[in-house]
Amino acid sequence: MQELLNKVQIFHKMFGGHIENHYRAGISESLTIMRARLLVEEVDGYTGPSAYPIDVDYALTDTLYLFLGTNISHGMQTTRSINSMRFILAI
């Protein structure tokens, strides 16, 4: 999990994505809305009528990126947060 978070954080640094270094519950409304819209788009791609295997693959990959990027936006890329995610996800 830490390796994936590190890669997404590098991506955010390269392309100007939002990064918090300490936990922050509230992020900007525009960022929250953008992430929610992207998540809806990915769910539609996953469950849409033409959910071919490649569409499902892309949707799940993008959903994972959104999950990791949102954690970074909230400053949750710390060891403590990762351990909590592992417990919740049972990984």
The predicted model gives 14-18 an average pLDDT of: 87
Quick one: pLDDT at residue 18? 83
Considering only residues 88 and 75, tell me which one the structure prediction assigns the higher pLDDT: 75
Q: What is the mean pLDDT of residues 74-90?
A: 67
Enter the pTM of the model.
0.71
Per the listing, tokens 């693959």 go with 57
Residue 34 half-sphere exposure toward CB, CA atoms < 13 A: 11
Q: What is the pLDDT of residue 80?
A: 63
**Over the stretch 26-76, which tens digit does the pLDDT of each residue have?**
788 898 898 899 888 888 777 766 667 887 888 888 888 888 888 888 888
Helix (H, G, I), strand (E, B) or coil at 48: coil
- The neighbour count for residue 9, using CB atoms within 10 Å, is 18
